[in-house]
Chain A
Amino acid sequence: MELLERFAAGDLEAFEALFRAHQKEVYAWVVRIVRDSGIAEDLTVETFWRIYKSRARFDPAGNFRAWARRIATNAALDHLRHSHRETELPEDLASAGTADPAVRREARERIRKAFQELPPKYRLVATLALVEEEPYYDIAEAVGISHALVKVRVFRAVRMLRKKLNSLGVEANAI
Chain B
Amino acid sequence: MSNEENNKEMKKLLKQVIAPAQETELRRDLWPQMLRKLEEQPAPVVSVPWFDWALAAILSGVLVFFPGSIPALLYHL
Q: How close is A144's CB to chain B, nearest CB, in angstroms?
A: 18
**B9 CB contacts on chain A under 8 angstroms:** 172-173
Q: How close is B40's CB to chain A, nearest CB, in angstroms?
A: 10
Mask, A142-175, CB within 8 Å of B = 1, is 0000000001001100110110000000001101
Q: Which of A89, A96, A111 has the most CB of B within 10 A?
A: A111
Tell me if A132 is interfacial: C-beta within 8 Å of chain B: yes
| Known A23-B26, A32-B21, A52-B38: A154·B14 in contact at CB below 8 Å | no
A98–B19 alpha-carbon span in the complex (Å): 8
A129–B27 alpha-carbon span in the complex (Å): 25
Tell me if A35 is interfacial: C-beta within 8 Å of chain B: yes
Residue of A nearest to B38 (CB): A52
A→B interface (CB under 8 Å)? 12, 16, 19-20, 23-24, 27-28, 31-32, 35, 37, 41, 44-45, 48-49, 52-53, 89, 91-96, 98-100, 103, 108, 111-112, 115, 126-127, 129-133, 151, 154-155, 158-159, 161-162, 172-173, 175
Apart from A93-B21, A98-B19, what 17 extra A-B contacts exist at CB < 8 Å? A23-B30, A28-B24, A32-B21, A52-B38, A53-B43, A93-B24, A95-B22, A108-B17, A111-B16, A130-B14, A131-B15, A132-B21, A151-B3, A154-B7, A155-B6, A162-B6, A175-B16
